[in-house]
């Protein structure tokens, strides 16, 4: 296992490098000049040339790449072209908000999906199963931003129970303020994710419940709860863990729509703003972080496989 993890980590370095290089090239192919956007009404050819020299954008792309990659190896991701803020500082300001939103969304989705998926599998082809399936299809089809707006109108505007927008720091504002600001956006994201996860849990559990060893366990007189929890549920979780790991990474890197709806300046919103501003260092640093998240998520999923099924061995 140790050798496998080391090999995967080495492969991951090349994958992350490839993603970062691709983003470095593609962001420069987008039409538009960041210097013109920065100067605005004060633009002149002389001012643009001076700013290009200051930012190093007048150099050939391969020289820019070598300098940027050398800085990354030293742990320096550069500074924002538009604001001058360091890339690491921008990531540090946005990542805790996106990470908090992702984790609460994942927790809500899991709390909803696991019992619903198990119930739908145990009550197969009954009104309970049909009702859960219909709710799941609605959850998958419902846009998260639309559901977020509905939640704001209901729980923030009409009932006044929860705040509509913004983010509260866990350390500065307390647990309740932090959680209350995250509850509505997390529900908006978690509803669709719960529907996807529930369908996988139901399908995996149905497949396992029809296996020979489950019938054997029941024939031996084992309690139904023990058969379900110890034998069926554990062996049905491998595909669920796969989709959960991937979706968790997607949630962490793709919550930008909800961040905009609820006015949360998280990592996704910072990244989209940087793309529109052609702020190369911010885009490159954020994508580099996203690549690391996806690679590590896949590695963690592969390791969890060995705990769920001892037959899986990475040689």
Query: What is the band of 192 on the pLDDT scale with cuts at 50, 70, 90?
Result: confident
> Cα–Cα distance between 96 and 168 in angstroms, integer?
11
pLDDT at 288 over 80: yes
| Domain at 89-265: CATH code | 1.10.3720.10
Q: What are the extents of the domains in the chain? A: 89-265
Q: Which two tokens stand for residue 152?
A: 């704001």
Residue 177 has pLDDT above 60, yes or no: yes
- Tokens matching residue 42: 């004060």
Average pLDDT rounded to a whole number, residues 128-155 = 84
* pLDDT beyond 80 at 213: no
**Distances 146 to 37, 109, 156, 257 between C-alpha atoms, Å:** 32, 18, 15, 10
Do 111 and 186 meet the contact criterion of CB atoms below 8 Å apart?
A: no
Distance of CA 93 to the CA centre of its chain: 17
The confidence score (pLDDT) of residue 38 equals: 66
Calculate ∠ Cα 109-113-118, nearest 5°: 165
pLDDT tens column, 10-38: 888 888 888 888 888 887 776 666 666 66
pLDDT bracket for residue 309 (50, 70, 90): low
Q: How far apart are CA 72 and CA 284, in angstroms?
A: 10
Give which of 152, 153, 158, 154 is closest to 181, Cα–Cα. Answer: 152
Q: What is residue 33's predicted lDDT score, i.e. its pLDDT?
A: 66
Place of tokens 């369908």: 199
Strand ranges (E), 169-291:
none
Residue from 148, 117, 177 nearest 262 by CA: 148
Q: Is the pLDDT of residue 97 over 60?
A: yes
- Cβ neighbors of 71 (< 8 A, separation 6 or more) are 77, 78
For residue 302, is pLDDT > 60?
Answer: yes
The top-scoring range by mean pLDDT among 47-56, 112-121, 150-159, 227-236 is 150-159
pTM, entire model:
0.76
Q: Mean pLDDT highest for which of 67-71, 132-136, 149-153, 243-247?
A: 149-153
Residues in the chain: 315
pLDDT, averaged across the chain: 78
Residue 162 pLDDT greater than 80, yes or no:
yes
pLDDT of residue 250: 66
């Amino acid at each position: 296992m140790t050798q496998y993890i080391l090999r995967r980590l080495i492969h991951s370095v090349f994958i992350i490098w490839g993603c970062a290089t691709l983003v470095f090239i593609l962001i420069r192919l987008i039409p538009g000049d960041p210097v013109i956007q920065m100067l605005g009404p004060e633009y002149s050819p002389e001012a643009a040339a001076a700013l290009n020299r200051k930012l190093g954008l007048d150099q050939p792309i391969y020289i820019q790449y070598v300098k940027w990659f050398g800085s990354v190896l030293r742990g320096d991701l550069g500074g924002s072209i538009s604001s001058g803020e360091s890339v690491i500082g921008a990531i540090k300001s946005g990542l805790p908000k996106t990470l908090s939103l992702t984790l609460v969304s994942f927790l809500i989705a899991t709390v909803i999906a696991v019992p619903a998926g198990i119930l739908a599998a145990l009550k197969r082809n009954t009104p309970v199963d049909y009702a859960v399936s219909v709710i799941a299809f609605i959850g998958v089809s419902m846009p998260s931003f639309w559901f977020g707006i509905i939640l704001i109108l209901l729980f923030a505007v009409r009932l006044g129970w929860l705040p509509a927008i913004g983010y509260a720091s866990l350390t500065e504002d307390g647990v309740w303020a932090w959680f209350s600001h995250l509850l509505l956006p997390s529900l908006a994201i978690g509803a669709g994710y719960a529907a996807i996860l529930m369908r996988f849990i139901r399908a995996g559990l149905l497949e396992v419940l029809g296996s020979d060893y489950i019938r054997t366990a029941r024939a031996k007189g084992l309690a139904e709860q023990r058969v379900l929890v110890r034998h069926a549920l554990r062996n049905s979780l491998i595909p669920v863990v796969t989709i959960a790991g991937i979706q968790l990474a997607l949630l962490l890197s793709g919550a930008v729509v909800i961040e905009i709806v609820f006015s949360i300046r998280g990592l996704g919103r910072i990244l989209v703003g940087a793309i529109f501003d052609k702020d190369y260092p911010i885009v490159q640093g954020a994508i580099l972080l996203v690549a690391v998240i996806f690679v590590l998520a896949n590695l963690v999923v592969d390791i969890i496989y060995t705990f769920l099924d001892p037959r899986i061995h990475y040689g």
